[in-house]
Amino acid sequence: MKIFDISMPIHYHMPVYKNKEEKRPQLKTVQDFRTATAYESRIDMDMHTGTHIDAPLHMINGGDTIDYLDLSKVITPCKVIDLTHLEQQITREDLLGKEIEKGDFILFKTKNSYDEGFNPEFIFLEKSGAKYLAEIQIKGVGIDALGIERSQPNHETHLQLFQAGIVILEGLRLKEVEEGEYFLYAAPLYIKGAEAAPARAILIKE
């Protein structure tokens, strides 16, 4: 058995969406051994920083929050699809012929996994690709970018996926992972009322 940690390390200098300062995580020491008998700290971070799962409330008024997520959707067999040859976006045409079936959880490996910092031109899932996945009725989709879409008015990709009940997992690191079948563990923190939550994403290869 081989374990691949496909999560982003959380620290102040990590890549954050559009390099926004307010999205940088802040780890602060609350007490240390100079003043107490135990060490404790506190973290302040955006729910969409690093590896995380979006809930429908992120884009849909009145949508479900992250605590309603069925964990069987994120602790599941999955397929990694290598799309590192793409330069701009993932469209329906790019997915035709791939072995994507109803109930699959799909992870897209792209050039994003090789970026050291935030790339504003990151590869994303274009709305036609999202519509195709919705038609197939997959379980979930993950991508190695901090957003599953960019430069699309009205967030068509998110909406196509959420309306089809598809889980969105963002901020993966797939550089060391080859195309193929794995078992995914990507449970989000159990935060009531949140529109997203950080997740520790791990792939298992038997």
Given a cut of 90, whether residue 60 has pLDDT beyond it is: yes
Q: In whole angstroms, how far apart are CA 57 and each of 80, 107, 148?
A: 27, 22, 16
**Cβ neighbours for 73, distance < 8 A, ≥ 6 positions apart:** 105, 139, 140, 167
Given a cut of 90, whether residue 152 has pLDDT beyond it is: no
Given a cut of 90, whether residue 196 has pLDDT beyond it is: yes
pLDDT band at 85 (very low <50, low <70, confident <90, very high): very high
The confidence score (pLDDT) of residue 153 equals: 87
pLDDT band at 3 (very low <50, low <70, confident <90, very high): very high
Over its C-alpha atoms, the chain yields an Rg (Å, rounded) of: 17
Q: Give which of 182, 187, 189, 180 is closest to 203, Cα–Cα.
A: 182
Mean pLDDT over residues 91-104, rounded? Answer: 97
pLDDT single digits (tens) 18-41: 999 999 999 999 999 998 999 999
Token output for 165: 């009940």
Mean pLDDT over residues 142-153, rounded? Answer: 94
pLDDT band at 185 (very low <50, low <70, confident <90, very high): very high
The confidence score (pLDDT) of residue 151 equals: 84
The confidence score (pLDDT) of residue 200 equals: 98
pLDDT band at 65 (very low <50, low <70, confident <90, very high): very high
Given a cut of 90, whether residue 129 has pLDDT beyond it is: yes
Write down the mean pLDDT value for the chain: 97
CA angle, 198 then 111 then 131, to 5°: 70
Given a cut of 90, whether residue 51 has pLDDT beyond it is: yes
Token output for 82: 């290598």
Pick the CATH number of 2-11+47-205 from 3.40.1010.10, 2.40.128.690, 3.50.30.50, 3.30.70.260: 3.50.30.50
Mean pLDDT over residues 131-138, rounded? Answer: 98
Spans of all domains in the chain: 2-11+47-205
- Write a three-state SS string for the chain: CEEEECCCCCCCCCCCHHHCHHHCCEEEEEECCCCCCCCEEEEECCCCCCCEEECHHHCCCCCCCHHHCCHHHCEEEEEEEECCCCCCEECHHHHCCCCCCCCCEEEEECHHHHCCCCCCCCCEECHHHHHHHHHHCCCEEEECCCCCCCCCHHHHHHHHHHHCCCEEEECCCCCCCCCEEEEEECCECCCCCCCEEEECCEEEEC
Mean pLDDT over residues 93-108, rounded? Answer: 97
